[in-house]
Chains A and B, each alone.
Chain A
Amino acid sequence: MGLPFSLAITLILAQVFYYQKKRLSFLQNTILFMILTILISNFLTITTLEMKWIKSTDDPFLFIVISLYRDGILPILILIFINYFVTPNSAINKILIFSLFLICCLGIDSLLIFFGVLTYINWNLFLSLLVNSAYFFITLSLVKIFLQKEHLHDNSL
């Protein structure tokens, strides 16, 4: 049940990302996607294998869900919301976008627990939200650097 559901979510998110109006270029989004994949993979491996705060599934098929989550679902979700967040918006809109992002993360993490993909041992959903927020703000910091460089380049022309 978990695998087809995750595959469906990944495909839907990929399509949303493909069709949405993006503030960032293909190159910028690609770089951010790769950085996020590296960060999320390392964090998940450390928390499951080394710290043992989270237990990942031993089922080889269900493990594909973890791969989809850290290399597809979560990075794409962050990029979708970041591209909306950095378009000119009021402060209230930005708060709404960030809140919606957190709700989506909460939903996905809850599904991972429900399907038995991850089991929280010394961990909880609030900590997951904190970590997902950290990914969001790290990505935002990188986006600010990209946009600053873009602005400097445009001014020099």
Chain B
Amino acid sequence: MITVYERSFDWNEWFVLLGLFTLHILVWITPKIFDLLRGIAYYLYGITIITFFDHTLSVRPWDLYDVNDSSKYQFIDFLTYVMNGPISYFFIYVYVRFKIRGFGNLAYLLFASSFAVLVEYTGVQIGLYHYVKGYQIVWSFPIYFMMQTLEIILHHLLLRKK
């Protein structure tokens, strides 16, 4: 059964479109510190992870939450995934730019995961996510922490194999 939360083009759509536009402009104008392929890898990581989780947790049989205006998979949902590309790119960008090492990794991950949960909470308030089917936002913190840790590991693996 398809659940429709709303039919209007409002806050959640604008959030995605403006976020998409702004973040991609930022990727374009910020000084490049990675070569092209590594930059693409960090960009794709975010899209891959969000696609994995949304296509696993928000579809039957688990179906724990919905994204955007209905439980159907719409183009705006795909744009929401693409919005995560620049986010994962900048996660490693800041990591490299500020030369984060040792226990700094833990502090950075705690900060980044908390920030991600805050943004997700904003998403819930504006109707980007609908947690009415059992999912609770407290789960998002360890998931973000784990995925961001994996991205740092990927970054170090890519450096080692260079």
| B48:A27 contact, CB within 8 angstroms | no
Chain B contacts for A28, CB-based, 8 A: 37
Q: What 8 A-B pairs have minimum CB-CB distances, sorted nearest first?
A: A34-B44, A26-B161, A34-B48, A41-B55, A58-B61, A60-B61, A45-B55, A41-B51
Is A109 an interface position by the 8 A CB rule? no
Q: Does any Cβ of A come within 8 Å of B7's Cβ?
A: no
Interface size class, chain A: 20 to 34
Contact check, B161 vs A25: say whether CB atoms are below 8 A apart. Answer: yes
Does more than half of chain A's interface fall in helix, strand or loop, or is it mixed? helix
Interface size bracket, B side: 20 to 34
User: Is A30 an interface residue when CB atoms closer than 8 A count as contact?
Assistant: yes
Determine if B51 and A42 form an interchain contact, defined as CB atoms under 8 angstroms apart.
yes
Closest A residue by C-beta to B72: A50
Question: B residues touching A (Cβ–Cβ < 8 Å)?
Answer: 37-38, 40-41, 44-45, 47-48, 51-52, 55-56, 59-62, 72-73, 78, 81, 154, 157-158, 161-162
Name A60's contact: one of B45, B52, B62, B73 (CB within 8 Å): B62
The CA-CA distance from A25 to B159 in the complex, in Å, is 12
Which of B41, B60, B62 lies in contact with A27, CB distance below 8 A? B41
- The interface residues of chain B lying within 8 Å CB-to-CB of A56 are 60
Contact residues in B for A63 (Cβ distance below 8 Å): 56, 61-62
Measured CB to CB, the closest approach of chain A to B15, in angstroms, equals 22
Nearest B residue to A48, CB-CB: B59
Q: Mark A93-137, 1 if CB is under 8 A from B, else 0.
A: 000000000000000000000000000000000000000000000
Nearest to A58 among chain B residues (CB) is B61
A49 within 8 A of B: yes
Shortest distance from the beta carbon of B53 to any chain A beta carbon, whole Å = 10
